[in-house]
Amino acid sequence: MDIGWIVTLFAIGFIGSFISGMVGIGGSIIKYPMLLYIPPALGFAAFTAQEVSAVSAVQVFFATLAGMLAFRKEGFINKSLVIYMGVAIVMGSFAGGYGSKYLPDGAINLTYAVLALIAAVMMFMPKKGDLAENNAELAFNKPLAAFTAAVIGVMSGIVGAAGAFITVPVMLVLLKIPTRVAIASSLAITFISSIGSTAGKLMGGHMLLAPSIIMIAASMIASPIGAKLSKRMNVKVLQGILAALIVGTVIKIWLDLLV
């Protein structure tokens, strides 16, 4: 096994998982294009979209678990929100993860591009202020939360992304959830979602053992570091980082699809 290949995969997993813990996403919005483009650019064998989505799914499981545990003691995880969105998203993500084996690579990339574009648009829509952030008394539209989570689950299960990069904008814009509660709760929801998408990918037969182990190791180190840094950062800075990541990824993916 080439040491350069191992270092490359570890670096991709570390960067994506660090950002995952910091802004409350599973990190696939970063790792998906990095896994697609960086290995072949450095002379290593390219992964297919099916393989990238499978590796992303299992890595997200461990990255969000580590990040969620780091946030757990802070009291920002809203249990009601996690239950309503988590149950819906895990069913959708399992269906999407298993059903993706019937889709060509182009359809998987297009699904990812559409998800990222929606997330990018939503990041620039007006959001609720974060002055109170009273998690105990937080009210939200429960049917809307469950419905959007189910739709996100199906689409994110297809690309192995667990959907946090669009779950956070949905929480901020549609459900009016304060930023820190959205970030912390999304890690728990994404962890639940990743159970479904990972199981679906395993049953679909696209899981790669060695890359998955390397990415998992990077996740367990980097995600808690990102989560700890997040607690010390201004929420506007966190929103800006997430928006920049989503927009950059959208531009790259759509240029590749169209050009």
Rounded CA separation 141/152 (Å): 16
- Enclosing H/E stretch for 226: helix 209-230
The pTM is what?
Answer: 0.63
Angle between helices 179-204 and 142-159 (to 10 degrees): 40
What is the radius of gyration, based on Cα positions, of the chain? Answer: 17
- Enclosing H/E stretch for 120: helix 105-123
**For residue 77, what is the DSSP state?**
-
Query: CA angle 43-47-48, nearest 5°?
Result: 140
Rounded CA separation 188/199 (Å): 17
The residue range of the domain holding 211 is 3-258
pLDDT < 70 regions, the chain: 1, 20, 23-29, 67, 70-74, 123, 126-137, 160-164, 201, 204-207, 235, 238-239, 259
How many structural domains are present in the chain? 1
Quote the pLDDT of residue 146: 92
Nearest to 190 by CA among 153, 215, 224: 153
